[in-house]
Amino acid sequence: MTIGKREYIAIRSVLLNRADKIKLNKTWSDIHNESGIGNESESTLYLSSADLSNLRNLCIVETGSDPLLNEISGTRTEVAGLVKNEKWATKSVFDHFVRITSIYGTPVINNEPARIPKGTLLNLNYETIDASSLSTVIIIENGEAIINWHQYQLPDELKQGLAIYRGHDAEARYVKEFIASLPAHIKTIGFYDFDPAGIGMAYDNSVDAILIPAKLDSALLQHRKIDAFQDQIQKRPDLSNQLPENWQSIWEWMVDKKHQCALTQEHILINKIELVLLHR
């Protein structure tokens, strides 16, 4: 019979536990019917010592791996060293991958300083980044913003920092894992759209500071998206009660009926709006 990943895992479990009987589910019915190993009685498969030995040998012959010795785990390359079918891999080669850039900084990656050309990103496993080479990490909301990071009107202190795209789905999870793994002395900065959703993300991610427009004036309102503001404010009705005291003034300005400000990172860039840091 052909031993697939499902059958291998089932047989390995039985061998490790030296089970002498097991409930007949579809997997074990298939194994029993195709191999003839074990004795079936009333929805139970009974296994003798000889049956266990035969199951083990069957796995070795069909897969090239001893189920008593080898748990199938790892990337395709790692799994290829265990069984004939590398597609049994439990990990993607892109697990823990994030996208980063820096304007002037040279983060140490795999023990080598890396200069990242402006307007480009490095896609890499965050575990290869040497955190001791960092002082500041900037989490950037949008893809356009991180690609054009070097064109923003930024405080000089951030130009040496490591910028990381916040990502979506699995990548977003890896970014959070990376941020959580950083030593406490490394400052985290949030750069999001200047709107209620962006302030909410900054709060949710517990960043040490956020990037905001240097001047909160009527000029900003020329580029606002009122519909987006109204939609976002309804989704975070209690946010004002959660924000740090130091962020209250910008929140009050943003949500004022005369302002209702929702400003995207793209508009901040194209209009060359100067940015400053606002700490917690």
Number of domains in the chain: 2
What confidence score (pLDDT) does residue 91 get?
77
Q: Do residue 105 and residue 154 come from a single domain? A: yes
**Residue 39: its H or E element:** strand 39-41
Q: Do residue 226 and residue 193 come from a single domain? A: yes
Kindly provide the b/e burial profile for residues 221-238, where b requires at least 16 CB atoms within 10 angstroms of the residue's own CB: eebbbeebbeebbeeeee
Q: Do residue 162 and residue 71 come from a single domain? A: no
Q: Do residue 138 and residue 222 come from a single domain? A: yes
Q: Do residue 203 and residue 268 come from a single domain? A: yes
Query: pTM for the complete prediction?
Result: 0.76
Kindly provide the b/e burial profile for residues 80-92, where b requires at least 16 CB atoms within 10 angstroms of the residue's own CB: eebbebeebbeee
What confidence score (pLDDT) does residue 187 get?
97
Low-confidence ranges of the chain (pLDDT < 50): none
**In whole angstroms, what is the distance from residue 242 CA to residue 238 CA?**
7
Listed residues 88, 106, 129: the one ending a domain: 88
Q: Do residue 119 and residue 61 come from a single domain? A: no
Average pLDDT over all residues of the chain: 94
What confidence score (pLDDT) does residue 97 get?
96
Where do we find the tokens 């069909």? 62
What confidence score (pLDDT) does residue 126 get?
97
Q: Do residue 218 and residue 80 come from a single domain? A: no
In terms of residue numbers, what domain contains 105?
97-279
Which amino acid is residue 65, in one-letter code?
A: S
Q: Do residue 241 and residue 185 come from a single domain? A: yes
Q: Do residue 37 and residue 77 come from a single domain? A: yes
